[in-house]
Amino acid sequence: MPNLHTVTAAIQKIIIRNFKSIYDLEIELGRFNVLVGANGSGKSNILEAIAFGAAAAAEKLDHEFLGSRGIRYTEPPLMRSGFELDHTEKPIELRFFRTTPTPHSEPESVTYRLANSNKPYAKWMDMDRPEPESGSIAQEPEIDYKLPFQRASFGRLTGLSSFIIFSPEESALRKFEEESQILPLGVKGEGLFKLLKVFSRDTVHRPLEELINHLRILDWFDGFDIGNGAMEAERKLNIRDRYLDDALAYFDQRSANEGFLYLLFYLSLFISKDTPSFFGIDNIEVAFNPKLCTKLMLVLNELSLRHGKQVIFTTHNPAVLDGINLHDDSQRLFVVDRNIRGHTKVKRIRHKPGNGAEASLKLSEAFMKGYLGGLPKNF
């Protein structure tokens, strides 16, 4: 199966300038990345900046497409850094580097400079995308027609153009009724039932079997059936609880606990060959017991490797950190903070801090004791 050791098109480094709380930031990614930090430190802003670049890569910078990628869209001046007033007029700059076949090769990169006039209803424009004026033949020889193809190829090879931020909501996961502009899964969890139906029809790769096996980390879970015939219109899962009497063993997703629904979504996201190869997940810990958070990260890392997914998580839960192996360079932990000027910054944690007793602490314990940073400083 593909992974970052065999696929040379993964995103290696990102430079973000003039986006929300990010003034100038550089981050070098692995395959499996976790951002942890205080509320308002800018974790989600990092994901949104990448999604903004993804929208540019896909040439879909219209307002309606930005929200469907998980971007919290606001007025154009507020999409830029507000540390200096003139920066609300300047473009957002996003540069992406991809890994190359040989270690000493110069990494390929693309840059998106995204501008907006700040006028009512004005659209974001990619300043580096050549667009000749209608009927202007004289300008055409000055256009580099290779550039759009190079950028499109980069976006396709790295998965950048498909990057979205998943932040599932219980209502979407429980009802199975909503669909999204983005297929197969929307940012709130829309489309999950249809994806499960697709899984059930794949007898070659057998993703449904893989999904059910991983769901057994819930000790009560004993499988599920997808409704057929008349049940299909109802969009119901018949879930089995091994502790219940045989006559009552089934219940549907409307009665399921929220942890099961979120687990079902995340496992499906990683297992599917139709979901993006590069994506973000905001607040991975929602709805999970702390011990399950740790186990989930171990499972998702395994699935990321097996199915060729590059992912960036944000979290507030220290237990998530205990599912990361800092000795594996493809797994990376970043502490996100804001400096004295308020700019969002990241620091990679390469190993546990300290010696002796400190070094023997779990990452969750080291984080809570303040050894890693990323905690509020004002109380």
Tell me the pLDDT of the chain (379 aa) as tens digits.
444 444 445 899 999 999 999 999 999 999 999 999 999 999 999 999 999 999 999 989 988 889 889 999 888 899 998 888 777 889 999 999 997 766 666 668 999 999 999 998 889 999 887 554 444 444 444 444 455 557 777 888 888 999 999 999 998 898 877 677 788 999 999 999 999 999 999 888 999 999 999 999 999 998 888 865 444 456 788 888 888 877 776 787 777 889 999 999 999 999 999 999 999 999 999 999 999 999 999 999 999 999 999 999 999 999 999 999 999 999 999 999 999 999 999 999 998 876 666 668 899 999 999 999 999 888 8
Contact 270, 277 (CB under 8 A): no
Contact 227, 236 (CB under 8 A): yes
Q: Give the global pTM.
A: 0.89
Q: What angle, 0 to 180 degrees and rounded to 10, lies between the N-to-C axes of helices 290-307 and 258-271?
A: 20
**Chain centroid offset of residue 253 CA:** 25
Q: How far apart are CA 204 and CA 52, in angstroms?
A: 36
Q: How far apart are CA 286 and CA 258, in angstroms?
A: 9
Listed in order, strand segments (DSSP E) in 191-322 are 221-226, 237-241, 250-251, 278-281, 310-315
Q: How far apart are CA 152 and CA 167, in angstroms?
A: 27
Q: What pLDDT does 145 receive?
A: 45
What stretch of H or E contains 126?
strand 125-126
Q: What pLDDT does 100 receive?
A: 72
Q: What pLDDT does 148 receive?
A: 58
Q: Which residue, among 119, 142, 135, 147, has the nearest Cα to 56 in the 3D structure? A: 147
Q: What pLDDT does 87 receive?
A: 77
State the maximum Cα–Cα separation within the chain, in Å, rounded to a whole number. Answer: 79
N-terminal to C-terminal alpha carbon distance within the chain: 47
The answer to whether the bond into 141 is cis (omega within 30° of 0) is no
253 SS3 class: coil
